Amino acid sequence: MRSVLELQDEGTLLIEDGNHGEYRPRSDEFGRGEYAFIRAADMDDGRVLFDSAQRINDQALARIRKGVGQGGDVLFSHKGTVGKLALVPLDAPPFVCSPQTTFWRTLNETRLDRRFLHCFMRSSAFTDQWMARSNETDMAAYVSLTAQRQLNVALPEIDEQRAIASVLGALDDKIEQNQRTARALEQLARAIFQAWFVCFEPVKAKAAGAASFPSVPQPVFDALPSRCVDSEIGLVPEGWRVKGIATIATFLNGLALQKYPPRGDGEDLRVIKIAQLRKGLVEGAAWANGDVPEQYVIGDRDLLFSWSGTLEAEFWFGGRGALNQHLFKVTSSRYPSWFCFHWIRQHLPWFRAIASSKATTMGHIKRGHLQETPVVVPPNEVLHEANEVISPIYDLFGQFMIESRKLAAMRDALLPKLLSGEVRVRVDGGADGES
């Protein structure tokens, strides 16, 4: 083990935070500037979300003296949300770290490989160190720059570093590729849903004289009405019905799972709360015992909807768990899960507006709001054909998401073994186990 401070003195590693002294970006300093302003919220599963990050203008940039990151840096969130990590792509443009973010920059790639550094910082050997040196400041966790510079980084020979990084990086690349494909599939399914069931584009095209419509099987198109009629929510295709969203699905509310304390008998279940739904992972989740009633046990491909706090709707791919209160498990015996999912997503802005209006309590919606929320239901033959198109998309989506979870588990199990030397990676790309 070598000291990080020692390495920095030797010109191997630079650690710098975004504590810009008197600089705190004002609202008028955000805009269309060149530099992204990266917060912990802009770091997700090892990636930096440059596209959605806010940007600072030239006026703000002129006042910054440090904390300017570049491609190849490893980012570490050190205050508030502590411990998030991201490896910045080499071709990324310069950016500015927020005061809650630090960059770790390899200055000598012949001694410390940047990809290996990222791998090491994700290990328990690194996490245990910063957790031991963290403090509480203003009710927020905090790992100071001084404390970070006192942490240790294991340094195998550079060839072994690169071999380790190559093995783990290949798994990361596959996970990222899976996630990109899954996101593209979901966007495709959303586009089809919007066209068929929200904008009624096939019906409008037929009304305008079209003889067919992309993605709509010809027999279905021929059976579509050629006009829209008035309804309580406006124009809808003739013969289609408007229902409340609560009538097409069952919304099962979760349990207060502290009533099911874990027993450690091998039958315990992870407690799935809103935080786990947002991450899509059971990481950091509490445990409940296996006596949780079966209907409150969730598994891959279940549709979950958080009705309190942060309102989200997602298909779950984090493995078996127990449904906590403030989450709905959404099921339907008649309608496809994707149909329920997209209608919930369609109304999420309205649900969130209701929740945010409850200033004196934790923002939430009530079951009455589900009764009031309209959905447009087509005839069975239209829904059946739509299911023939959209359901296979979600089958593929699920396969990619589950494979990504298994690859991540493999990576996380392999990481400490590689770093400890229990498993050694040959320079030629092989791996050997050592006792």
Lowest mean pLDDT among 55-59, 177-181, 287-291: 55-59
What is the Cα–Cα distance from 129 to 147, expressed in whole angstroms?
Answer: 9
pLDDT 10s digits, 118-150: 999 999 889 999 999 887 655 467 899 999 999
- Are residues 166 and 126 located together in one domain of the fold? no
Counting the structural domains of the chain, the total is 3
pLDDT 10s digits, 190-222: 999 999 999 999 999 999 999 999 888 898 899
Q: Which residues of 403-427 are buried (b: 16+ CB within 10 A; e: fewer)?
A: ebbebbeebeebbeebbeeebbbee
Q: What's the pLDDT band for 223 if we cut at 50, 70, 90?
A: confident
What is the Cα–Cα distance from 201 to 196, expressed in whole angstroms?
Answer: 6
- Are residues 253 and 362 located together in one domain of the fold? yes
pLDDT over 60 (residue 435): no
Q: Which residues contact 51 (CB under 8 A, 6 or more apart)?
A: none
What confidence score (pLDDT) does residue 34 get? 77
pLDDT over 80 (residue 286): yes
What is the Cα–Cα distance from 273 to 325, expressed in whole angstroms?
Answer: 8
Give the gyration radius of the chain's Cα atoms: 26
pLDDT over 60 (residue 1): no
- Are residues 303 and 397 located together in one domain of the fold? no
Output the six-digit token pair for 121: 């910082």
The rounded mean pLDDT for the chain is: 90
What is the Cα–Cα distance from 57 to 40, expressed in whole angstroms?
Answer: 20
What is the Cα–Cα distance from 129 to 11, expressed in whole angstroms?
Answer: 22
What is the Cα–Cα distance from 365 to 40, expressed in whole angstroms?
Answer: 28
pLDDT 10s digits, 21-30: 545 556 667 7
Average pLDDT over residues 319-329: 97
- CA dihedral of residues 40, 46, 51, 54 (deg, nearest 10): 10
Average pLDDT over residues 152-167: 92
What confidence score (pLDDT) does residue 28 get? 67
What is the Cα–Cα distance from 310 to 362, expressed in whole angstroms?
Answer: 10
- Are residues 135 and 262 located together in one domain of the fold? no
pLDDT 10s digits, 77-97: 998 889 999 999 999 988 999
- Are residues 202 and 336 located together in one domain of the fold? no
Which H helix or E strand runs over 148?
Answer: helix 145-148
Residue whose token pair is 């199990």: 413
Compare 65 and 291 and report the one with higher pLDDT: 291
Q: Is residue 26 part of a domain?
A: yes
- Are residues 146 and 92 located together in one domain of the fold? yes
Q: Is residue 218 part of a domain?
A: no
What is the Cα–Cα distance from 305 to 292, expressed in whole angstroms?
Answer: 19
- Are residues 135 and 178 located together in one domain of the fold? no
Burial of 42 (0-12, 13-18, 19+ CB in 10 A): buried
- Are residues 188 and 274 located together in one domain of the fold? no
- Are residues 264 and 355 located together in one domain of the fold? yes
Beta bridge partners of 340: none
What confidence score (pLDDT) does residue 278 get? 87
Q: Is residue 408 part of a domain?
A: yes
User: CA 230, 234, 235, 237 torsion: positive or negative?
Assistant: negative
pLDDT 10s digits, 227-260: 999 999 999 999 999 999 999 999 999 999 999 9
pLDDT over 80 (residue 349): yes
Residue 86's CATH number:
3.90.220.20
Average pLDDT over residues 259-279: 94
Q: Is residue 228 part of a domain?
A: no
Number of H helices, E strands in the chain: 12, 29
Which of 107, 125, 155 is the last residue before a domain boundary? 155
Which of 118, 139, 155 is the last residue before a domain boundary? 155
Average pLDDT over residues 420-434: 68
CA atoms within 13 A on the CB side of 103: 25
Q: Is residue 227 part of a domain?
A: no
- Are residues 348 and 396 located together in one domain of the fold? no
Q: For the chain, what percent of residues have pLDDT higher than 70?
A: 91
Q: Is residue 146 part of a domain?
A: yes
Q: Is residue 238 part of a domain?
A: no
**pTM of the entire predicted model:** 0.85
Which of 132, 155, 178 is the last residue before a domain boundary? 155
Q: Is residue 240 part of a domain?
A: no
pLDDT 10s digits, 351-388: 999 998 875 567 899 999 999 999 999 999 899 999 99
- What length is written for the chain? 435
- Are residues 150 and 174 located together in one domain of the fold? no
Cα 210 to Cα 99, 202, 204, 213, distances in angstroms = 57, 9, 9, 7
What is the Cα–Cα distance from 244 to 377, expressed in whole angstroms?
Answer: 10
- Are residues 396 and 297 located together in one domain of the fold? no
* Residues spanned by the domain of 272: 246-377
Residue 181's CATH number:
1.10.287
